[in-house]
Structure 1
């Protein structure tokens, strides 16, 4: 959802930078690329291994990052290019749609309402409700179960490597839509198909890719 339906990744980065300054932790461009798509708790664990700290606690820092990001996303973030048109087109074609996100349910539902897309989705699910979140496949497996569709019959569209790993591990056909600065990175080549933007999505190509998948 983040960075795919809604242009929220810059806001998450801003929220993380705002909070991490309190422990004099500098978020480099490399670190940003390595942690995009991770749940907040996993992001903090990753940073702690690089530069340990005692206080504030993980829970306190997570709460601050989430509060900052949620407020700004739900008040000012806009849809990613092609996202709204694609959702409406797939819904018109009768395809059941779901959101499987590492974000909290509050944010998922808030984003769907902000973009006026709630009515097009059959269901949505948060990795925060699972014991393990992305890159673990649990959030995708649970979402497929809620949809009533076998994972192997699902198509997952992801902007992050962690999300891509999650969907592939769940056995789904995958489309990767990486950010421009990492589009040519080899780690996204594990996807069945790759797009520069959702505006490039072509239904006929999707059917061909899915039908040729082993």
Structure 2
């Protein structure tokens, strides 16, 4: 039985992962840390403070705090979303389909709440979600399950009756650790990652959320 569907945001509702990679490469460069967009895949799905801590541990810098770098990255991503942000294929169709199933809808993201609000306003989908929750309010971000567990608690639904929709391996691990079912919608170029196999289903776009998939999840 499915009582709720909880969407991840970055890479699921909006093609913002390229924005994150661009912002990270440029922001880290400003403190003398040179990473490539390919290297950014190592931290996809993590909370921004954890991304910054990850690279600081590998290539520590001086003069600028980790929180300042995180704030700069977030600022740059918000600007890119406001200028270029677009809904991913099938977003509205999937939201409408799930709405017709008479289950609750929520959003649980590693991104800061200010970015979540920016994205759902940009896409015009804020009215679909009963609750939105950010991992910035948790002790740990994904792949820890906390953000999903709190979202389920806010919905007053047991995690085992929830389905998470994720694009990253860290996100899938988070959802499965919360004892939820998970549908993976991998980013272009990541479809061959064998780790996606821990998801209950893998689809190429949100248009894959249909009667056939729903029956499989039930």
TM range (shorter): over 0.9
| Structure 2 residue aligned with 1:179 | 187
1:203 to 192, 202, 211: 211
1:81 to 65, 89, 97: 89
Please state if 1:90 is matched with 2:98. Answer: yes
1:76 to partner: Cα distance:
2.2
Instruction: Name stretches of at least 5 consecutive residues in structure 1 with no aligned partner.
Output: none
1:24 to 25, 32, 42: 32
Structure number having the greater helix percentage: 1
Instruction: Name stretches of at least 5 consecutive residues in structure 2 with no aligned partner.
Output: 1-8
Instruction: Measure the CA separation in 2 of the matches of 1:110 and 1:52.
Output: 31
Q: Please report the TM-score for the alignment, with normalisation by the length of structure 2.
A: 0.91
Structure 1 residues 149-160: aligned runs within 5 Å: 149-160=157-168
Between the two proteins, the alignment pairs up a number of residues equal to 210
Q: Is the 8 A contact 1:5 1:84 kept in 2?
A: no
1:181 to partner: Cα distance:
1.1
Instruction: Measure the CA separation in 1 of the matches of 2:215 and 2:116.
Output: 28
Instruction: Measure the CA separation in 2 of the matches of 1:205 and 1:191.
Output: 13
Instruction: Measure the CA separation in 1 of the matches of 2:152 and 2:127.
Output: 18
Structure 1 residues 99-118: aligned runs within 5 Å: 99-118=107-126
Q: Deviations over 1:128-169 (max 9, x none)?
A: 011111111010000001111110000001001111111010
Instruction: Measure the CA separation in 2 of the matches of 1:30 and 1:79.
Output: 23
Q: Is the 8 A contact 2:25 2:37 kept in 1?
A: no
| Structure 2 residue aligned with 1:128 | 136
Q: Please report the TM-score for the alignment, with normalisation by the length of structure 1.
A: 0.93
Instruction: Measure the CA separation in 2 of the matches of 1:55 and 1:161.
Output: 33
Q: Deviations over 1:3-47 (max 9, x none)?
A: 100111111111111111123322235422211111111111111
Instruction: Measure the CA separation in 2 of the matches of 1:86 and 1:8.
Output: 18
